[in-house]
């Protein structure tokens, strides 16, 4: 049964979950707990505000109660991150810190600009160009004191006239090629699971873990995104518990990609967040939305309200 069908059949269960059911989930997760929970750390992705000045973006994120900004590099450049000088990088970081924030890291790594990148193409020249840009992004992330780089970029990792197996092979080779550099800069590159409507390469958490295991480098890990689970067959909390040891980051938004509060996240995500709490998750939970229509301020403020409502339902 697909996970979305599971939610339809049990739609009201999470919304009316008893304290007993949450305690049961708590007890189960505690068996594999790694460290005590000290509170969630919330970040927000910046692309919903890309037309605003950088200082205003940071101010909106901080004012809503988030503690970090997650950056989509394409929002800051005309041609690529190489154009951002060392001085400009220091200015960006200074503004982040002046607003009481830190840089959680980067996402949308290969989304243009620059154009023409593709990580799993059979064209070796394009792959080399894409690996070189990923190395440039590692330096940009490190210069901003970011911790993680989320490798989603569905269009830049889909198959191009080759098998999925060959595409995964190129994916692993490219990640292995930048792993040492990432480790030297204190950055982790996280493979993001994306459902089949976005790409045909790495659609589930199990596939992401298999890729991470194949590369087998400390700087190459994975993350969890609530929105990207249509191809899964288990509910959120089970997936989180199963892959927790490899989850270095979490993305959250409504299941249709809108800001929190426009759908059922406030109830449907409770057990998932309960499991994260029970397991002592102390890395970033980052808000990423795909409908920018309401504007960054509304997206930030309304989503934070929902995150706090979810927390209020935890035990």
* Residue 300 vs residues 261, 284, 296: alpha-carbon distances, Å: 11, 16, 6
What tokens does 212 get?
């991470």
Question: What is the Cα–Cα distance from 82 to 85, expressed in whole angstroms?
Answer: 7
Residue written as tokens 């002046």? 98
pLDDT along the chain (315 residues), means of 10: 45 43 49 64 98 98 98 98 98 98 98 98 98 98 98 97 98 98 98 98 98 98 98 98 97 98 98 97 97 97 98 96
Q: How many helices (H) and strands (E) does the chain have?
A: 11, 8
Question: What is the Cα–Cα distance from 303 to 262, expressed in whole angstroms?
Answer: 9
Q: Is the pTM of this model over 0.75?
A: yes
Q: Say yes or no: domain 3-309 is CATH 3.90.420.10.
A: no
pLDDT tens-digit profile of 140-158? 999 999 999 999 999 999 9
Neighbours of 165 (CB within 10 A): 9
Question: What is the Cα–Cα distance from 259 to 49, expressed in whole angstroms?
Answer: 13
- Confirm if 200 and 191 have CB atoms less than 8 A apart: no
The burial class, CB within 10 Å (0-12 / 13-18 / 19+), for 214 is middle
Report CA 275 to chain centroid distance, whole Å.
18
Neighbours of 200 (CB within 10 A): 16
* Residue 52 vs residues 11, 57, 156, 296: alpha-carbon distances, Å: 38, 6, 27, 9
Question: What is the Cα–Cα distance from 78 to 84, expressed in whole angstroms?
Answer: 10
Residue written as tokens 């901080």? 62
Question: What is the Cα–Cα distance from 65 to 63, expressed in whole angstroms?
Answer: 5
């Amino acid at each position: 049964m697909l996970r979305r069908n599971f939610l339809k059949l049990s739609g009201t269960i999470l919304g009316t979950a008893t304290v007993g059911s949450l305690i049961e989930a708590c007890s189960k997760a505690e068996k594999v707990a790694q460290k005590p929970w000290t509170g969630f750390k919330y970040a927000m992705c910046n692309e919903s505000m890309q037309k605003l000045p950088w200082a205003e973006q940071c101010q909106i994120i901080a004012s809503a109660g988030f503690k970090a900004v997650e950056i989509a590099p394409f929002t800051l450049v005309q041609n690529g991150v190489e154009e951002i000088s060392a001085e400009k990088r220091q200015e960006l970081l200074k503004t982040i810190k002046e607003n009481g924030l830190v840089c959680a890291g980067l996402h949308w790594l290969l989304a243009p600009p620059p154009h023409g990148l593709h990580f799993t193409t059979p064209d070796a020249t394009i792959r080399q160009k894409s690996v070189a840009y990923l190395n440039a992004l590692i330096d940009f992330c490190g210069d901003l004191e970011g911790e993680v780089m989320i490798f989603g970029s569905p269009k830049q990792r889909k198959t191009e006239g080759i098998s999925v197996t060959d595409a995964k092979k190129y994916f692993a080779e490219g990640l292995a090629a930048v792993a040492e550099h990432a480790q030297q800069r204190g950055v982790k590159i996280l493979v993001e699971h994306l459902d089949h409507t976005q790409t045909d390469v790495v659609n589930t958490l199990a596939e992401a873990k298999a890729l991470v295991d194949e590369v087998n480098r400390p700087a190459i890990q994975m993350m969890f995104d609530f929105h990207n689970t249509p191809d899964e067959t288990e509910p959120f909390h089970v997936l989180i518990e199963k892959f927790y040891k490899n989850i270095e980051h979490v993305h959250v938004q409504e299941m249709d990609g809108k800001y929190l509060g426009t759908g059922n996240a406030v109830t449907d995500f409770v057990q998932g967040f309960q499991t994260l709490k029970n397991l002592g998750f102390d890395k970033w939970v980052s808000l990423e939305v795909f409908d920018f229509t309401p504007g960054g301020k509304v997206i930030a403020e309304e989503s934070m309200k929902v995150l706090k409502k979810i927390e209020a339902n935890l035990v």
